[in-house]
Amino acid sequence: MNGFASGCRRACSNRSSFETAELCEESTIEAMRAYIYLALFGACMAVVDAADFAAAVEAYQKGDYATALKEWRALADQGGSAAQFNLGLLYFDGKGVPQDFGQAAVWFERSAERDYMKAQRDLGEMYAIGQGVKKDYVQAYKWLNICAAKGDETCASHRDEIARKLKGSKLAEAQRQSSEWKPKKDPGEQ
């Protein structure tokens, strides 16, 4: 971790130095100060999260899956979609944990719900073949269609294959679910 990220970690861990919004309602200047502090706190946390994510990637590349798991788990539990996806990959591949397609699907779904395209593709594929989840062509179509809408040609091709397996009302239901779907926001987004 670089010196700046380390300094942010120390500064951000001292939350008591930040004013709360309730205390700042008394004056506009104090409210602006609190807003600036909160924005800086958010920026510090983003730097810390990026440093932790990078540390996990480095550990993974070195084959230190236990460290990658630890770092990604902390970020995934906070709602980080990329970390959730990578945690799913660890379970899918059985690296650092026993191979567990069910747990992989859980983490892929959390990531997919936050609009992470790779997770949407992998989750759609898992529903299509019933790996780690019950085979469900409606869910497979939904996730592959959401992914295809972002321009992924593989998702579009696989969605079209699934569409041929769905009949009438099931295809309409899959299309409705994918068109009505709205992503959950990552932490820190408004």
Instruction: Tell me the per-residue pLDDT of 158-189, one tens digit each, with 9 for 90 and over.
Output: 999 999 999 999 999 999 999 999 998 755 55
On whether both 91 and 180 belong to a single domain, the answer is yes
On whether both 97 and 168 belong to a single domain, the answer is yes
On whether both 93 and 180 belong to a single domain, the answer is yes
pLDDT at residue 75 is higher than 80: yes
Instruction: Tell me the per-residue pLDDT of 112-164, one tens digit each, with 9 for 90 and over.
Output: 999 999 999 999 999 999 999 999 999 999 999 999 999 999 999 999 999 99
Which residue in 160, 91, 161 sits closest to 119, CA to CA? 91
Q: Which residue matches tokens 């959950």?
A: 184
How much is the pLDDT for 34?
Answer: 47
Give domain status of residue 189, yes or no: no
Question: What rounded mean pLDDT belongs to the chain?
Answer: 79
DSSP string spanning 77-100?
Answer: HTT-HHHHHHHHHHHHHTSSS---
On whether both 105 and 150 belong to a single domain, the answer is yes
Residue 9 pLDDT grade (very low, low, confident, very high; cuts 50, 70, 90): very low
pLDDT at residue 12 is higher than 50: no
How much is the pLDDT for 166?
Answer: 96
Measured distance CA(17)–CA(180) in Å, rounded: 43
pLDDT at residue 45 is higher than 80: no
On whether both 97 and 58 belong to a single domain, the answer is no
Task: Please tell me the total count of domains within the chain.
Answer: 2
pLDDT at residue 54 is higher than 80: yes
Which residue in 86, 132, 112 sits closest to 181, CA to CA? 112
How much is the pLDDT for 186?
Answer: 58
Q: What is the pTM of this model?
A: 0.72
On whether both 110 and 167 belong to a single domain, the answer is yes
Q: Structural domain of residue 179, as residue ranges?
A: 84-184
